[in-house]
A = this chain, B = another copy of it.
Amino acid sequence: TDDPIPTPSVPPPDILRCAYMEIVVTDLAASREFYVDVLGLTVTEEDDEVVYLRSIEEFIHHNLVLRQGPVAAVAAFSYRVRSPQELDRAVDFYTELGCRVERRAEGFTKGIGDSVRVTDPLGFPYEFFYDVEHVERLAWRYDLYTPGALVRLDHFNQVTPDVPRATRFMQDLGFRVTEDIQDDAGTVYAAWMRRKPTVHDTAMTGGDGPRMHHVAFSTHEKHNILAICDKLGALRRSDAIERGPGRHGVSNAFYLYLRDPDGHRVEIYTQDYYTGDPDNPVITWDVHDNQRRDWWGNPVVPSWYTEASLVLDLDGNPQPVRERTDDSEMGVTIGADGFSYTRRDEDEEMPEWKKGEYKLGHQL
């Protein structure tokens, strides 16, 4: 990266985990129906403007905030830190970086106490908090489970033009990389990084940014994810299914990508692996490996690469989006100069059914 973000002289806050995302939705009733009636998230609290939602195993006030607003966007990527004292560290860390930093003793959303919001050096609205209202952990409430029950918030995914620059900054913030996608020339297309010992709390996806690629909830088993698809079919809302279900190469998890009524992307995810050891082996995937994003080699739809949600600054205005200048993952894997393989050292082209619509100029 030509333009590295300097490493602050002060230590970063000790982050526990990604905790909630606040999204702005343009039709609160429609979004509530999607997240509550279709996906089955639990309403902790709500009013005419905001709905606070949580997953079944959660004991903090919320994992997702839906806020009515004029433009669909993300207001906050919010992380829980290990103690109240870590908020001071967050303030110092971002202040030294010249970021805009706001702190409110009473918190920015209901249920959350003292918290810090910043516009980070990559342009994302990040939040840190420790104080939070405890609510009933519904894990044992099997009378409330639906066939597609979402049990935890698993991770965020952010779109940013320069992945190595973003990754190094996140490492300064205390994150550890678990997997990434590169090519032989060293271009990095995406990177996954964690605080809690799963594959990630957030990932950096190369593209025009800052934008929000998706927010991911986990289920207990794979059939729970299939049940969500089945229900969307029954509701004649199958067009909400953008990609999957499938098995990821990266993370080894089973996945599904949905689009909510505003187009915000939601992943449903299950069964990645433990990454908590300091020497956890980092896995680098070749961008031309057709199993990297879908272990079964099923084509990624173009919208998944190109579309993402705007993010807001601390005044609630959309952040300007800067173009990626490195190669695009979609471009190098298909199109005139792109290629993908199932078996690295084989010359044979992939069969038609694995190429999807990514062949430049593909015709029926």
Contact = CB atoms under 8 A, between A and B. Distances in A.
Interface of A: 16-17, 57, 59-60, 80, 82-83, 134, 137, 139-147, 149, 151-152, 196-197, 220-223, 226-227, 229-239, 241-243, 245, 247, 249, 252, 254, 259, 271, 273-274, 276-281, 290-291, 295-298, 301-304, 330, 334-335, 342-343, 350-354, 356-364
Contact of A142 (B231, B276, B359): B231
Copies held by the complex: 4
A16 B277 contact: yes
B297 A143 contact: no
Contact of A352 (B16, B229, B303, B351): B303
Contact of A273 (B57, B259, B273, B304): B57
Contacts of A59: 277, 280-281
A57 to B, nearest CB: 5
A232 B342 CA distance: 11
Contacts of A147: 142, 145-147, 149
Nearest to A131: B279
B222 A353 contact: no
A351 B239 contact: yes
Nearest to A245: B245
Contacts of A342: 236-239
A196 B359 contact: no
A216 to B, nearest CB: 14
Nearest to A259: B351
Contact of A354 (B82, B196, B239): B239
A363 B364 contact: no
Given A145-B231, A357-B364, 6 more contacts: A57-B273, A233-B247, A236-B291, A236-B342, A238-B297, A301-B353
6 contacts: A17-B274, A142-B227, A142-B233, A145-B227, A237-B342, A239-B351
A241 B296 contact: yes
B335 A364 contact: yes
A27 to B, nearest CB: 15
B351 A359 contact: no
A332 to B, nearest CB: 12
